[in-house]
Amino acid sequence: MASLDLSSFSYHKFVEFAFQEAKLRADLIPFPSHLPYKFRSKDNNIMLHTLSFHAPPKIRLIRSLTVEGNSGMQVLDFAVFPEPEFDLPIFCANFFATANLSIVVLDLNPLYDVTIDTAYKHKYYRELLPLGQKYFELLPWGGNITSESLRFFSPIVIWSRFSSSQFKYGVLYSAFMEYFKAWLVLMEQAVKETSAFQICRNCDAQHKYLTWRAEKDPGHPILKKLVGENLAKELLRDFLFHGVGSLGTKTFLDYFPEYNCADGTVNRKRSVMGKSYETRPWDTNGEFIGNGPG
């Protein structure tokens, strides 16, 4: 199988595009408690770069982490989190590539579970379905996933695994640009919520999302290997999923009691339900057709 020379591509191009595009539509201010980071992994072979901003009144945090070096691996973790006064989706691009294999998740992650909340689904995704359709064939469904993850995904999620190639890299770049521009349009149109109840709900929903990812994101083992357990923890709590310690007080087990072990600790397995959804669980109208675990 042909493999891709990883030195011929970089996710920096994605990050540059995103921050430039965001700057056209919002005033980005360096995130107060973050410094742009450039650091080397423990074995010195890999560089990690971080960048983060906020942009009142709508963007609480826009941040990116890239990992690259001569280890045969490239990673992008780029996300945008809205202020709780807005029920905007969370922009999410998580790409992992080796010379042979790429694993990607690109989505406007819904704040509310769209398999249940159809009003939220219609509000944000009805008009975006054609955008998703453009890419579902070229970046096909990646097969079984951790079942718990699905409630954080939207009907236009791109979850894919494929042989790394320049062609796919180009398709992914194009999808990334279009998805991000679509998010920015939603952001521009978003109207500030005034109901205290609704703002609290948004805040809780975002906190639940952050709590899930800060505990169970599939990238954690690699981050820990690269920078060690302590720095990885700091990176997760203070940078990647900043807000997990401040937007709410509930714990992981409050949100996800099914992970409770008999001794009161969190089950270390990533999934208690197991993997499922072998094929795309939404039809072309964005109707949920997944059978779920079992």
Minimum gap (Å) between residue 106 Cβ and ligand BLA: 9
Nearer to ligand BLA, 26 or 135 (CB): 135
**How many Å apart are CA 2 and CA 121, to the nearest integer?**
40
Nearer to ligand BLA, 168 or 213 (CB): 213
Minimum gap (Å) between residue 75 Cβ and ligand BLA: 4
Amino acid, single-letter form, for residue 49: H
Q: How remote is the C-alpha of 106 from its chain's centroid? A: 7
Measured at CB, which residue is nearest to ligand BLA?
219
Query: Which stretches of the chain bind ligand BLA, using CB under 6 A?
Result: 67, 75, 77, 92, 94, 96, 103, 105, 109, 145-146, 149, 152, 159, 213, 218-219, 222-223, 275
Nearer to ligand BLA, 75 or 128 (CB): 75
Residue with tokens 């989706």: 89
Nearer to ligand BLA, 25 or 238 (CB): 238
Minimum gap (Å) between residue 238 Cβ and ligand BLA: 16
**How many Å apart are CA 53 and CA 56, to the nearest integer?**
10
3-state secondary structure of 106: strand
Q: What share of the chain is helix, strand, coil (3-state, %, to 5)?
A: 40, 25, 40
Cis omega (within 30 of 0) on the bond before 110?
no
277: left (phi over 0), alpha (psi -120 to 50) or beta: left
Picking from 90, 113, 108, 102, the residue whose alpha carbon sits closest to that of residue 290 is: 113
Minimum gap (Å) between residue 57 Cβ and ligand BLA: 25
Minimum gap (Å) between residue 197 Cβ and ligand BLA: 25
Nearer to ligand BLA, 219 or 286 (CB): 219
Minimum gap (Å) between residue 12 Cβ and ligand BLA: 15
Nearer to ligand BLA, 105 or 244 (CB): 105
Pairing verdict, β 46-55 and 37-40: antiparallel
